[in-house]
Amino acid sequence: MNVLVVLIPVSLILGGVGLAAFLWTVRSDQYDDDKGNAARILLDDD
């Protein structure tokens, strides 16, 4: 039972870090051009 006193806060902290990382990627426009990457592989640059 003492292990839960450690594991619950650790899991909440890790979840918060994951949520903060996701929000940072959304706010910095990491997911801005989802169709361009799919079409870019079909273009021939040579």
Tokens 């169709």 locate to 35
Q: In this predicted structure, what is the pLDDT of residue 3?
A: 96
Q: In this predicted structure, what is the pLDDT of residue 33?
A: 77
**pLDDT tens readout for residues 14-46:** 999 999 999 999 999 888 877 777 777 787 766
Q: In this predicted structure, what is the pLDDT of residue 46?
A: 60
Q: Check whether 1 has a pLDDT greater than 90.
A: no
Tell me the helices (H) and strands (E) count for the chain, helix number first.
Answer: 2, 0
| Sign of the CA dihedral running 19, 21, 27, 31 | negative
Rounded CA-CA distance 16/42 in Å is 38
Q: In this predicted structure, what is the pLDDT of residue 29?
A: 87
DSSP type of residue 32: S
- Joined tokens for residue 37: 């990457």
Q: In this predicted structure, what is the pLDDT of residue 10?
A: 98
Domain ranges of the chain: 2-40
